[in-house]
């Protein structure tokens, strides 16, 4: 009988997930005795009765690497350790159904599982590994906020999209003498904002790692306008950025509109417009960099299963593929270090961080 | 009077050159006492009479970072060490004008020179540095073939363009049951070819680092057609060569051009496959200079901006004779001698090669 691997992808979608799935399947098909099966919609498919699973053959994964999203569909609200179960009276109760998951793996003859996900997913992976599941993790985040890997797929595509947005907004801002504010994703890390600001050529970049002072932002904006009101300015703000006197709450939301309000509050003379890039950053065709990285991680993950190096995650470190114990990756975030060269470069070309 | 830094771009053009120039100028603008000027077409602008120099103000460089090419112009021929002179009999000879140029730069009040270029330019920079010129280098190559730096700007843009070409060719090949061969740049390194083959999903990739066996390629084609997947995409690097045989290259007929011209490998492969009995419909596409132009992607603009700022800071610190480089996650400075001593070619045990083999790609051996 063939050995079976279950693929589960969870968390938000991310360009490159399909390239990972394709790489696992193509690598497995180089061997005679492995088969790959995907759980539909995160863990849901494998916990459903009957199972909702998808046998993944080379034919099914052909050409999927250029598509965004995931053919398995995903879910960022499901955790087998705290899973919504419908009671007889119709109410929903969150229960630990991890034993059911483990039972299903055993009954349906699975030898291992590959879990593609972000930080929350790795916590689930670690707990499953501790309960004896043969699991391998693959990092997935558009935010570049995982410390264990040098690069994560999806990030370069998101940074590229955000950069192209800055490109477009610069021409509008300069034509109308406007201040244009672009709000991008990133959660508690400012990587997407920082990359888009440097690549696109913004004047102000506001990131969670550097709480900003509105006075400093205004000073920079004023320097962009001549006394007759001509000039323009572009601001890139990360969704998790916050004012200096604010508590550093995780993604407070509406940061772009709160900056607009603050500028209007002091009667800043220029027209101000805001753009929130939102889910445009998660979809669409992954760029070459992300497809390559995703393919590399997929191949590596299969090989970790084959070598029985369970309880680990495939990573890209120092220009090579490697693996790391899941226990070492939990809650290790990669935030923008203030001594990072990109901060230095940004300040070098005159970008203000409002500090 | 302000101190002057002279910027020039040499060698083939490359997406991101303008972002480097902008990075230098914007960094200099934050100092009180430095100004930036540019020499038109590498060192030629300084050597010509009258000189051809461009003032590089912040206003001049505003928004240039997303344009391909270089606002200073470039050349991959000649240079101060081998300046072409036409003799009376119509032949060309080459003279060393470096001492004259260094004197001229001194008269112009140039305190530092930032030379953005490939390995040829870095060699010229080292020679000029040995003669006492204050030179700083910025590496430039779409081929990613310098080992002192993890990446060079322009490379990711080239890979992206080549990948999009593969994406398009796949749909045509699949619709017509064809074999399509895509020839990409890279000189003696297979980085662009292997990366775009991986990202685009080619079945065969032939690179200079692994001489190929024609029969292996033929085997893949026959098997794919037999299995009913009647199409094959082959990405071949311009420097790829068969096991029995040599690189297809010819001497350039352009005056003062040192590098051999590569190219024609796709055509040769197509004919060789036909001669070996391949009866599938075959087509070739040579991507050529599409790989060097256009808007640099975000990755390259960021790297180029980092290089520009760092190069200007080396000038401020008086650190000459060095080239800026990216060694993740830092931007560092390495001596020219170290920078030009080693090429970065694909190692057979690298993760890229392992990944390619892992998904079943044929590398021709």
Q: What residues does each domain of chain A span?
A: 3-153+286-317, 156-283+338-348
Token pair, residue A83, equals 């899973």
Show residues of chain B in contact with A198, CB under 8 Å: 301-302, 305-306
How many C-beta atoms surround the C-beta of residue A267 within 10 A? 6
Show residues of chain B in contact with A167, CB under 8 Å: 66
| Model pLDDT, residue B340 | 84
Token pair, residue B45, equals 């602008």
Token pair, residue A271, equals 């027209």
How many C-beta atoms surround the C-beta of residue A176 within 10 A? 13
Given B160, B298, B305, which is nearest A349 (Cβ)? B305
Q: How far apart are CA A233 and CA A222, in angstroms?
A: 9
For tokens 């497995």, the residue is A28
CATH code of domain A3-153+286-317: 3.40.50.450
Residues 6+ apart with CB under 8 A from B351: A296, A300, A320, A321
As a dihedral over the C-alpha atoms of residue B364, residue B234, residue B269, residue B228, rounded to 10 degrees, the angle is 90
In this chain, the answer to whether the domains covering A3-153+286-317 and A156-283+338-348 adopt an identical fold is yes
- Interchain pair A163, B298: CB under 8 A: yes
Given A65, A288, A341, which is nearest B330 (Cβ)? A341
- Interchain pair A201, B170: CB under 8 A: no
Q: What are phi and psi of A200, to 5 degrees?
A: -85, -25
Q: How far apart are CA A294 and CA B317, in angstroms?
A: 41
Confidence class of residue A128 from pLDDT cuts 50, 70 and 90? Answer: very high
In this chain, the answer to whether the domains covering B3-153+296-328 and B157-292+347-358 adopt an identical fold is yes
Residue in B148, B153, B355 to test binding to A, most A beta-carbons within 10 Å: B355
Find, in chain B, the residue whose alpha carbon is nearest to that of A194.
B302
| Model pLDDT, residue B252 | 67
Dump the DSSP string for B107-159: HTTEEEEEEEE-HHHHHHHHHHHHTT--EEEEE--TT--BTTSS--TTHHHHH
| Model pLDDT, residue A249 | 55
- Between the CA of residue B25 and those of A313, A320, B313, what are the distances in Å? 43, 35, 11
User: From the CA of B242, how many Å to the nearest CA of chain A?
Assistant: 26
- Interchain pair A289, B360: CB under 8 A: no
Find, in chain B, the residue whose alpha carbon is nearest to that of A345.
B306
How many C-beta atoms surround the C-beta of residue B154 within 10 A? 28
| Model pLDDT, residue B1 | 83
Confidence class of residue A318 from pLDDT cuts 50, 70 and 90? Answer: confident
Token pair, residue B286, equals 């040579």
How many H-runs (helices) and E-runs (strands) does chain A carry? 11, 13
Q: What are phi and psi of A94, to 5 degrees?
A: -80, 125
Q: How far apart are CA B114 and CA B238, in angstroms?
A: 30
Residue from A322, A281, A292, A317 nearest A16 by CA: A292
Omega within 30 of 0 (cis) for the link into B50: yes
What residues pair up with A314 in beta bridges, in sequence order?
A: A323
Residues 6+ apart with CB under 8 A from B161: B287, B290, B291, B294
Q: What are phi and psi of A213, to 5 degrees?
A: -100, 130
Q: What are phi and psi of A294, to 5 degrees?
A: -65, -40
Given B29, B199, B299, which is nearest A291 (Cβ)? B199
Share the mean pLDDT of chain A. Answer: 94
Q: Which helix (H) or strand (E) holds A111?
A: strand A110-117
CATH code of domain B3-153+296-328: 3.40.50.450
User: From the CA of B127, how many Å to the nearest CA of chain A?
Assistant: 29
Per-residue pLDDT of A36-95, as tens digits, reads 999 999 999 999 999 999 999 999 999 999 999 999 999 888 899 999 999 999 999 999
Contact between A56 and A38 under an 8 Å Cβ cutoff? The reply is yes
- Interchain pair A150, B355: CB under 8 A: no
Q: How far apart are CA A125 and CA A327, in angstroms?
A: 9
How many C-beta atoms surround the C-beta of residue A102 within 10 A? 16
Which string of b and e fits B282-297 if b means at least 16 CB within 10 Å?
bebbbbeeebbebbbb
R_g (Cα) of chain B, nearest Å: 22
Mean pLDDT of the A120-148 span: 96
Q: What are phi and psi of A8, to 5 degrees?
A: -125, 130
Per-residue pLDDT of A155-207, as tens digits, reads 999 999 999 999 999 999 999 999 999 999 999 999 999 999 999 999 999 99
Given B310, B312, B359, which is nearest A26 (Cβ)? B359
User: From the CA of A117, how many Å to the nearest CA of chain B?
Assistant: 21
Q: Residue A229 class from Cβ within 10 Å (0-12 exposed, 13-18 middle, 19+ buried)?
A: exposed
Return the active site residues of B. 143
Residue in B316, B358, B363 to test binding to A, most A beta-carbons within 10 Å: B358
Share the mean pLDDT of chain B. Answer: 94
Dump the DSSP string for A234-264: EEEEETT--BTTS---S--S-HHHHHHHHHH
| Model pLDDT, residue B230 | 83
Q: How far apart are CA B259 and CA B42, in angstroms?
A: 17
| Model pLDDT, residue A247 | 65
Per 3-state DSSP, chain A is made up of helix, strand and coil in percentages (nearest 5) of 35, 20, 40
Contact between A212 and A256 under an 8 Å Cβ cutoff? The reply is no
Q: Residue A250 class from Cβ within 10 Å (0-12 exposed, 13-18 middle, 19+ buried)?
A: exposed
Show residues of chain A in contact with B24, CB under 8 Å: none
Given B162, B199, B298, which is nearest A160 (Cβ)? B298
| Model pLDDT, residue A246 | 76
**Domain segments of chain B: what residues?**
3-153+296-328, 157-292+347-358
Is the pLDDT score of A116 beyond 60? yes
How many C-beta atoms surround the C-beta of residue B360 within 10 A? 13
Per-residue pLDDT of A220-266, as tens digits, reads 999 999 888 889 999 999 999 999 987 655 556 789 999 999 999 99
As a dihedral over the C-alpha atoms of residue B125, residue B259, residue B162, residue A159, rounded to 10 degrees, the angle is 0
Q: How far apart are CA B54 and CA B74, in angstroms?
A: 13
- Interchain pair B299, A345: CB under 8 A: no
User: From the CA of B357, how many Å to the nearest CA of chain A?
Assistant: 9
Find, in chain A, the residue whose alpha carbon is nearest to that of B174.
A63
Q: Residue B41 class from Cβ within 10 Å (0-12 exposed, 13-18 middle, 19+ buried)?
A: buried
| Model pLDDT, residue A319 | 82
Mean pLDDT of the A145-160 span: 94
What's the distance, CA A121 to chain centroid?
12
- Interchain pair B298, A195: CB under 8 A: yes
Contact between A136 and A115 under an 8 Å Cβ cutoff? The reply is yes
User: Mean pLDDT, consecutive 10-residue segments, chain B of 365 residues?
Assistant: 95 94 98 97 95 96 94 90 92 94 96 94 95 97 92 96 96 93 95 98 97 96 89 97 82 70 90 94 94 93 98 98 94 93 90 96 96
| Model pLDDT, residue B245 | 80
Pairs of residues, one from chain A and one from chain B, whose beta carbons lie less than 8 Å apart: 136
CATH 3.40.50.11740 is right for the domain spanning B157-292+347-358: no
| Model pLDDT, residue A251 | 57
- Interchain pair A198, B305: CB under 8 A: yes
CATH code of domain A156-283+338-348: 3.40.50.460
């Amino acid at each position: 009988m063939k050995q079976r691997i279950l693929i589960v992808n969870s968390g938000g979608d991310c360009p490159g997930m399909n390239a990972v799935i394709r790489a696992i399947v193509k690598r497995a098909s180089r061997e005679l005795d492995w088969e790959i099966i995907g759980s539909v919609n995160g863990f849901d498919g494998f916990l459903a009765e009957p199972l909702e699973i998808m046998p993944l053959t080379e034919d099914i994964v052909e050409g999927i690497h250029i598509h965004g999203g995931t053919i398995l569909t995903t879910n960022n609200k499901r955790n087998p350790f705290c899973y919504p179960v419908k009671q007889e009276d119709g109410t929903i109760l969150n229960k630990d159904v991890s034993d059911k998951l483990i039972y299903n793996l055993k009954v349906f003859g699975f030898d291992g599982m590959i879990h593609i996900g972000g930080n929350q997913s790795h916590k689930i992976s670690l707990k499953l590994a501790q309960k004896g599941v043969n699991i391998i993790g693959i990092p997935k985040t558009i935010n570049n906020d995982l410390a264990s890997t040098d690069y994560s797929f999806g990030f370069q595509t998101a940074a590229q999209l955000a950069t192209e947005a800055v490109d477009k907004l610069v021409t509008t801002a300069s034509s109308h003498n406007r201040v244009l504010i672009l709000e991008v994703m990133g959660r508690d890390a400012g990587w997407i904002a920082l990359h888009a600001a440097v690549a696109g050529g913004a004047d102000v970049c506001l990131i969670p790692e550097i709480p900003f002072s509105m006075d400093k932002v205004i000073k920079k904006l004023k320097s962009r306008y001549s006394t007759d009101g001509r000039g323009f300015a572009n601001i890139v703000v990360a969704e998790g950025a916050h004012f200096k006197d604010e508590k550093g709450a995780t993604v407070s939301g509406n940061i772009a509109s709160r900056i607009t309000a603050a500028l209007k509050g002091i009667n800043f003379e220029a027209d101000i417009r805001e753009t929130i890039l939102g889910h445009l950053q998660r979809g669409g065709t992954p760029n070459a960099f992300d497809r390559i990285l995703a393919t590399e991680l997929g191949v590596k993950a299969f090989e970790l299963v084959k070598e029985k190096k369970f309880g680990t995650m495939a990573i890209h470190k120092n220009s090579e593929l490697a693996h790391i114990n899941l226990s070492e990756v939990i809650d290790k975030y990669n935030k923008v270090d203030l001594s990072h060269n990109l901060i230095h470069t940004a300040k070098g070309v005159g970008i203000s961080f409002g500090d | 009077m302000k101190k002057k830094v002279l910027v020039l771009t040499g060698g083939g053009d490359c997406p991101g050159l303008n972002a480097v120039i902008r990075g230098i100028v914007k960094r200099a603008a934050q100092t009180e006492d430095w100004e930036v000027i540019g020499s038109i077409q590498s060192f030629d602008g300084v050597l010509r009479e009258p000189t051809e120099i461009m003032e590089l103000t912040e206003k001049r460089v505003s928004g240039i970072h997303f344009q391909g090419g270089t606002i200073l112009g470039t050349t991959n021929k000649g240079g101060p060490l081998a300046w072409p002179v036409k003799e009376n009999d119509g032949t060309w000879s080459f003279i060393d004008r470096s001492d004259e140029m260094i004197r001229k730069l001194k008269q112009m009040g140039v305190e530092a020179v930032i030379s953005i270029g490939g390995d040829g330019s870095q060699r010229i920079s080292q020679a000029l540095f040995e003669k006492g010129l204050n030179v700083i280098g910025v590496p430039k190559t779409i081929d990613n073939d310098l080992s002192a730096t993890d990446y060079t700007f322009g490379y990711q843009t080239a890979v992206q363009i080549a990948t999009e070409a593969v994406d398009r060719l796949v749909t045509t090949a699949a619709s017509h049951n064809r074999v399509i061969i895509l020839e990409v740049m890279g000189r003696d390194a297979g980085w662009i070819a292997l990366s775009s083959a991986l990202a685009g999903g080619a079945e065969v990739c032939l690179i200079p680092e692994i001489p190929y066996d024609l029969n292996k390629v033929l085997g893949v084609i026959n098997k794919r057609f037999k299995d009913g997947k009647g199409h094959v995409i082959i990405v071949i690097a311009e420097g790829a060569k068969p096991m029995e045989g040599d690189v297809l290259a010819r001497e350039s007929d352009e005056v003062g051009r040192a590098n051999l011209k590569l190219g024609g490998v796709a055509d040769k492969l197509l004919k060789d496959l036909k001669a070996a009995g391949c009866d599938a419909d075959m087509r070739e596409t040579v991507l050529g200079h599409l790989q060097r132009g256009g808007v640099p992607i975000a990755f390259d603009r960021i790297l180029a901006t980092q290089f520009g700022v760092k190069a200007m800071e080396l000038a401020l610190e008086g650190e000459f004779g060095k080239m800026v480089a990216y060694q993740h996650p830092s931007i560092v400075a390495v001596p020219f001698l170290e920078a030009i001593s080693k090429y970065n070619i694909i190692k057979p045990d690298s993760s890229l090669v392992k990944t390619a083999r892992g998904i079943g790609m044929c590398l021709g051996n």
